[in-house]
Amino acid sequence: MTATRNDLLLPKFATMLALQDAMNRAVDADWRERDRAWFRAIWIECAELMEHYAGWKWWRRAEPDLDQVMLEIVDIWHFGLSLHLGLEPDRDRAAATLAVQWRAPLPAANFHDAVEQLALCALRERRFLVGAVPVLLEYLNRDFDDLYRAYVGKNVLNIFRQDHGYRHGTYRKLWQGREDNEHLIEILRALDADDSGFQQAIYAALEQRYAADTGE
């Protein structure tokens, strides 16, 4: 797993926390006061993660969909950041805590074991086990930079969905016969995550594809 220097880790954690706060506010302006059950969303997403990773159903053959696995990890990361921000509103301190926990990955026998530890921590302690995520990424031959790229992309997609009627049921998730997540994966492959206009470029590319399919 490629290491990411501390001087790059902290600002990227801070960026992700800021994006998560903005996304939560787009859904509920008073999201902190609502005290959502982020821990529950984490363990439910863990089951979806297992489905895409495959290999646990010994009674049938299944191949993992690693792109979708990555997006499921990102979904878990969204909820984990939200839980983290609920406990520590100061983003600088929250970023520092995340960095420390990231640098202490938990021991896990295999991918499934890491997922189950993540789910168990959410169920028993109502806490986000940050140290499980670098382990999951290592089993996928991915690293922090891959997580950052995918997270920012999914965050922009979530905002795009809200802007186009997701909460009111008017948003169309299928474009040209494929889910918006699949379009996002293609878009991210063509963009530089370290570019200052990364977020804006993702949104513009989503807008172009969505308009081509829906005429909006």
pLDDT digits (tens, 9 = 90+) for 13-53: 999 999 999 989 988 899 999 999 999 999 999 999 999 99
Spelled out in words, what is the top-level CATH class assigned to the domain 6-214? mainly alpha
pLDDT tens digits for 94-111?
Answer: 999 999 999 998 899 999
CA separation, residue 16 to residues 95, 109, 149 (Å): 9, 29, 10
Helix (H) / strand (E) containing 179: strand 178-179
For residue 64, the SS3 value is coil
Helices 144-163 & 132-139, crossing angle to 10 degrees? Answer: 100
Residue 147 Cα to chain centre, angstroms? 7
